[in-house]
Amino acid sequence: MTADLAGHARELAGWLRDNAERLAPWRRRPPGSLAAAVEHDRGLLALLHEAGWSRYGWPEQAGGLGGPVALRAVLYDELAAADVEVPEAYVILETLGPLLTAFAPDLAATHLPRFLRGEELWGQGFSEPEAGSDLAGLRTRAEAAGNGFVVNGQKIWTTLGQFASHAAVLARTGAPDSAHRGLTMLWVDLGQPGASVRPIPASSGRDEFAEMFFEDARVDGSRVIGEVGGGWAAAMYLLQYERGMYAWLRQAILHRRLREVAAMAPAGASPSSLAALGRAQRVCAGLRARSRTTVLRLSAGENPGPEISVDKVLLGQAEQAVFDAWRQLCWEAMAVDDGDLSSTLREEWFYSRASTIFGGAADIQRDILSDRVLRLPRGAR
């Protein structure tokens, strides 16, 4: 990062060292359910907000302390470097926080401080059972009613959705065949009549995702994110952070996991297992270098555009490489060890299997890069 960011990083690293004992409860996720982990994280969110560190990089009018958005990247990097678990809620924050500050500043002023304090969580309502990567084909409808809308439809694969109080829901307000031109982004209260959320059990044993159902759920006109009919533009703005800043957050965590995996490597590990560890290190280094460039561009107010697909492809590769290396090095621990670290790594191994699918499938990202960045003729792919 730049010299100013490096100074901020040194100051934050010093605070983390000085408060090591206070931060001890968050060096490992607590055993048990995802709900217990989410509630546990709320305490760390409140602590980081109280100390001010999580407020840097967010606009002052939304409860932040200002400064470039790269200051948020410094927070994630230093937390992981200090062996503090980065709260899973920050994944959602980096997806929807920039959207609200840019397209709905009044909503951001109300809800962002609550999120930073750990008082509420949010959900992202994009994918549907028959419209995952093809958002232009989504079917959830928002019909105009009085000074707002009535929403009907279903969303799926909402990360931590069962804990969310509100969701940014992409709905069709135009004609059925209006494709991306007829979409509107709405801020929906999930606690109201007509809105329900159901967790989706995962093979890891953690309900990482949820599905949302809307039956005549009402949304006031003041809760439109951006403009009516402007949902596609809002979604494309969101994706640069979902794929850019999220990739930086995850690479910080993956580098911590690499340190932990390397420390667990048994004496006499096979050459193939050590090669897998080396490959994981190489892929993570590439992801860090690439996402550093992206974060600095975001911090400068630039939109990386379709090039952001590079970050998404590299992230999926890094996620799987790290946890596959652990599986090869420590297969017995993966299979039977119930210790906190092995349990965490096992859960994340399962989660990494989907990393090349969620948030934009890897094959779709490669098509985007071929078409819009490299401009390759279809026969050359």
The rounded distance, in Å, linking the Cα atoms of 136 and 354 is: 22
What amino acid is encoded at 339 in this protein? G
- Quick one: which of 349, 110, 366 has its CA closest to 220? 110
Pairing of strands 209-220, 148-159: antiparallel
CA distances from 182 to 121, 130, 167, 188 (A): 28, 18, 19, 18
Task: Give 3-18 as a DSSP string.
Answer: HHHHHHHHHHHHHHHH
Phi/psi at 270 (5° precision): -65, 155
* Known catalytic membership, residue 242: yes
CB atoms near residue 374 (< 10 Å): 11
The rounded distance, in Å, linking the Cα atoms of 243 and 248 is: 9
Pairing of strands 166-172, 122-125: parallel
Q: Are 185 and 231 in contact (CB under 8 A)?
A: yes
What amino acid is encoded at 366 in this protein? R
SS3 98: helix
SS3 93: helix
- Quick one: which of 269, 161, 262, 275 has its CA closest to 207? 161
Catalytic residue, from 208, 242, 319, 347: name it.
242
Q: Are 64 and 112 in contact (CB under 8 A)?
A: yes
Q: Is 228 exposed, middle or buried (0-12, 13-18, 19+ CB in 10 A)?
A: middle
Question: Tokens standing for 321?
Answer: 């490489």
Q: Are 273 and 280 in contact (CB under 8 A)?
A: no
Q: Which residues are catalytic?
A: 242
